[in-house]
Chain A
C-alpha cells in the first residue's frame, strides 16, 4: 500500500516527463525511472522473477540500447516541440484525455472483485511456479519467442549492415578528390579546424578563434551547435583586452555576440 502510494505519483510524473521533456536523453532517463519503479511494483505484487527481468532486460539492456542509439543519431530538428501537423496535438490531447477518463472510470473500477493473492501459486516459490508453466502449458509460446529473438537479431544485423558498393579510396585518390573539389567549388581541402585553438579554453564546446579573432563555427561539433551549447562570450576575453590596449581600434568589436562564420574563404557546409 505504502509502496503503491509512494511509487504511483513518481511513475505518473516521470511518464509525463517522458512525453514532455525537451531533450531525448531526459526522456530516456525518466523512462528508466518509470521502469525501475515498475520493477519494484512487480516485486511488491508477488512477482520477484519479473522484478529481476524488468531490471535486467528493460532497464539494463533496452534502455542502454536507447541511449546508445541516441548517441549515434545525435540531436536534430526533430527534438523541437513545435507541432508541424495542423491540429495533431489538439486532437491527440482531446482523444487522449477522453480515452484516459473513460478507461479509468469504466475499466479501472471494479473489473476485479476480490483479489485472491498469490500465496498458493507461489507456494513453491515464484520462479518454480513460472518455470512449471513455461515448460508445460506455454512451452510452444516460449519456443516461438526463441525463434522471434533469433529472427530479430538477424534482422537487426541485416538492417544495420552497410554494403560496400565501391572500393575504398586510397589516400592518394582522396587527396586528388579534395583538390578537385577545391578547384570546382572552392571547398577547403584541409581538415576542419579543431576547437579551442587560440581560445581561452580548449574544451570541445569552445570554437577556435581565427587569426582575425573571430570564432569558427566549423570547429565545433554539429550536435553541440544543434543543442545550442556552444560556449560564447568573447566579449570578456579578447575584445576586452583589445579595448584596453587601444580603445579606438575598430577591430575591438570582434568576438561580439554574433560570431562570424569561418574565415579564409571557407564556405559553411552545414
Chain B
C-alpha cells in the first residue's frame, strides 16, 4: 500500500483516545443494558414446563420489551454522550475483578465510547425492530418463547462484545454470539439441513475463534495485559513482528465471525435459520463483529503495514466472491447472503485502509445494517406470503400483491446499489474513494464490485417483484400483517436517511477519538467518483434489466450455464475445497489414527498384559498348595546357601 505521508492534508490523531473516565451518573446503566436481555433470556429459555403457560403465551412480549429497554437505555446514554466534550466520551465501567491470578488480571470492564455507542444503537434498535417483526413471523411456531429467549441471549452477548473493555470480555461476548447463532440457525433442528448448517457455522467459527484466542494469549505473553487500554499503551513497545502476528490472528478471528474468505462457507448455509435470525445476526449485527474487532484494534494495525494489507486483500477477495455468488443464486436468502458477504468485504476493505477508512467502515456497517435487515425482513415477508417458498424463480409479479413489502424492499434496494441520495450511495462512495486514494487497482476492483452489486440486486428485484408470475399452483401471495410491515417501514426510512450521518463529516468527527482520522488527497474531485460509480451502477442495472427484465425468467434454473454461473451456484467451490483439503485428509488421518490406536497402541498394551498374564499362569503352577512342595523349595534354598558359603570359603 502506497500511502505517502506528504499526500495527507491533515492527520488527526486520536488524542488520549483510550483514557476512559469512570462511569458515573446515567452511565452506570451500561451494565443494566446487558443485564436486562440476559435475565429475560434466562427466564424465557429456562421457564419451561406446564407452570409457565404465561411464558408461552406472552413470552415474546417480554423478550421484545427487554430489547426495547436496552434500546431506550442506549438512546439515553447516546444523548448523554453527545452532550460531552469530544475528549470525555470514553467511559469505563468496572464491574468486578473477573480473573486475578498472579500477574494476570482481568476485570469485568465495559467501555462505552463513540464506537460502542453507535453499535449499541444499531444492535438494540435493529434488534428491537426484528423482535417486533418476529412476533408476527413466528406466530404459529410452538416454540416461539424459546426463540425469543435465544434472540435476547444474542442481544446480551452482542452488547457484551461491543461494550467490552478487555479482549477477554470481548471474547466472552464473541463466544456468546457464536452460541446464539448456533442455537438460532439450528432452531428448526428437526430439519436435517438446519442442524447440519448450525454445526457447520459452529465449527467454522471455532477456527476463527482459535485465531482470536491465540491473539489474546499472545497479548498476555507479550504485554501482560489484555485490556484495550493496556494493549494500546503497550503495543508500541513490542516488535513489529509481534504486532503483525497479532494483526493476522485478529484477522483470522474476524474472518471466522464475518464470513470472510477463506472462512466464508458457513454464512450461506446459515440461511437455514428463521429469516429474522438471518436479518439480525447474519446480516445486520453479528457478522459485522469482525469489522468491529479490526476497527477496535486500530492501535494494533497502526504498527503493522503487512496485517493491514492482509485485511485489504481479504476484504477485496470477499467483496468479489460474495458478489459473484450473489449473482448466481436463485434462493432469495442465499442471494442476499452473498450480498452480505460482499458488503462486509467492503467494510473490511475500508477497515484495512487504516484511519482513512475506519470511520467509513463503521458508516457502511451501520447503513448496511439498516438496508440489509430491511431487505432480509422483506424477503421473509415474501416467504411468509408464499408458503415459505425461497426459490426466486417461483416468484414474480409480487409488487402488486405486496405493495408495502415491495415499497420498503425497493428502498433497501436503492440504498444498497448506491442510488444517489440513499444511504448506500454515501457510504459505499466513501469507501471506494478511500480505496482509490490508497491504491488504484483496489479502487477499480471496489468500483466494479459496486456495478456487480447493482446487477445482482436488480436481478433479485426483477425476479421477485416484477416479471411474470411463476408461482406454484397452491400459492396465495398476500401482504404480511402490520406487526411485520411496521418494522419494514421503519427500516426503509432508516435506509433512506442513514446516509445523512456523513453530512458535515459527522461520522468521522464522532469516531475520531477512537480511531483517529486522516483525510486523503484525490487526484480528481470527489464528484467525479460519484458520477463514475453511479454510471457503473447504472450499467449493472441495465445489464440485469436486459437479461431478466425483457425476457421471461424460466421457472427452473437452466442447466446449461457457463462455468462462471456454475461456480457461483456452488459457492465458488468453497465447500468442495474444504472437503478436499481439510475434511477428507482429516477423515483419513482420523481413520488411520483409529487403526493405529487399535492395532499399535491397543496391540502393544494387550501384548504386554497378555504376556504378563501368560507368564503368571505359568509361574502360578509353582503354587501347588502342597506344604511339602514349599518345604522342598525351602530346603533347596538352604542347600543353595550352603553351596554359596562353601564357594566363598573355598575362594
Contact = CB atoms under 8 A, between A and B. Distances in A.
Direct contact of A and B (CB under 8 A): yes
B628 A95 contact: no
A156 interface: no
Given A85-B624, A85-B626, A106-B646, A99 B639 contact: yes
Contacts of A98: 639
Interface in A80-122: 85, 88, 91-92, 95-96, 98-99, 102-103, 106
B578 interface: no
Contact of B646 (A88, A92, A95, A102): A102
Given A85-B624, A85-B629, A88-B628, A95 B643 contact: no
Contacts of B628: 85, 88
A176 B624 CA distance: 45
Contacts of A102: 639, 642-643, 646
B632 interface: yes
B506 interface: no
A96 B629 CA distance: 14
A134 B38 CA distance: 92
Given A85-B629, A102-B646, A95 B639 contact: yes
Contact of B632 (A92, A103, A106): A92
B635 interface: yes
B576 interface: no
B403 interface: no
Contacts of B636: 91, 95
B10 interface: no
Given A85-B624, A85-B626, A88-B628, A103 B642 contact: yes
Contacts of B632: 88, 91-92, 95
Contacts of A92: 632, 635
Interface string B607-642: 000000000000000001010110010011011001
A99 B638 contact: yes
A93 to B, nearest CB: 11
B630 to A, nearest CB: 11
A103 B643 CA distance: 9
Contact of B635 (A85, A96, A106): A96
B498 to A, nearest CB: 98
B105 to A, nearest CB: 69
A57 B166 CA distance: 94
A106 B650 CA distance: 10
Contacts of B649: 106
Nearest to B635: A95
Nearest to B624: A85
A92 B643 CA distance: 17
Interface string B167-211: 000000000000000000000000000000000000000000000
A98 B636 CA distance: 10
Contacts of B646: 102, 106
A106 B642 CA distance: 9
Contacts of B643: 102
Contacts of A88: 626, 628-629, 632
A142 to B, nearest CB: 29
Interface string A63-93: 0000000000000000000000100100110
B387 to A, nearest CB: 86
Contacts of A103: 642
A92 B635 CA distance: 9
A122 to B, nearest CB: 33
Contacts of B629: 85, 88
A230 to B, nearest CB: 31
A96 B635 CA distance: 8
Contacts of A99: 635, 638-639, 642
Nearest to A106: B646
A102 B644 CA distance: 12
B460 to A, nearest CB: 96
Contacts of B639: 95, 98-99, 102
Nearest to B631: A92
Nearest to A84: B626
A85 B622 CA distance: 13
A202 to B, nearest CB: 43
Contacts of B642: 99, 102-103, 106
A102 B636 CA distance: 13
A19 to B, nearest CB: 13
Contacts of A95: 632, 635-636, 639
Nearest to B637: A95
Nearest to A105: B646
B635 to A, nearest CB: 6
A66 to B, nearest CB: 19
A103 B639 CA distance: 9
B403 to A, nearest CB: 102
B594 to A, nearest CB: 50
A103 B646 CA distance: 10
A14 B643 CA distance: 29
A99 B635 CA distance: 9
A85 B633 CA distance: 14
A88 B632 CA distance: 8
A91 B633 CA distance: 10
Contacts of B626: 85, 88
A95 B631 CA distance: 11
A262 to B, nearest CB: 37
A265 B222 CA distance: 104
A69 to B, nearest CB: 18
A60 to B, nearest CB: 28
Interface in A34-74: none
A30 to B, nearest CB: 21
B647 to A, nearest CB: 11
Contacts of B638: 99
Nearest to B636: A95
A92 B433 CA distance: 108
Nearest to B646: A106
Nearest to A98: B639
A227 to B, nearest CB: 24
Nearest to A85: B626
A96 B642 CA distance: 12
7 contacts: A85-B624, A85-B629, A88-B626, A91-B636, A92-B635, A95-B632, A103-B642
Interface of B: 624, 626, 628-629, 632, 635-636, 638-639, 642-643, 646, 649
Given A98-B639, A99-B642, 18 more contacts: A85-B624, A85-B626, A85-B629, A88-B628, A88-B629, A91-B636, A92-B632, A92-B635, A95-B632, A95-B636, A96-B635, A99-B635, A99-B639, A102-B639, A102-B643, A102-B646, A106-B646, A106-B649
The 7 closest A-B pairs by CB, nearest first: A99-B639, A95-B636, A106-B646, A95-B635, A102-B642, A85-B626, A95-B639
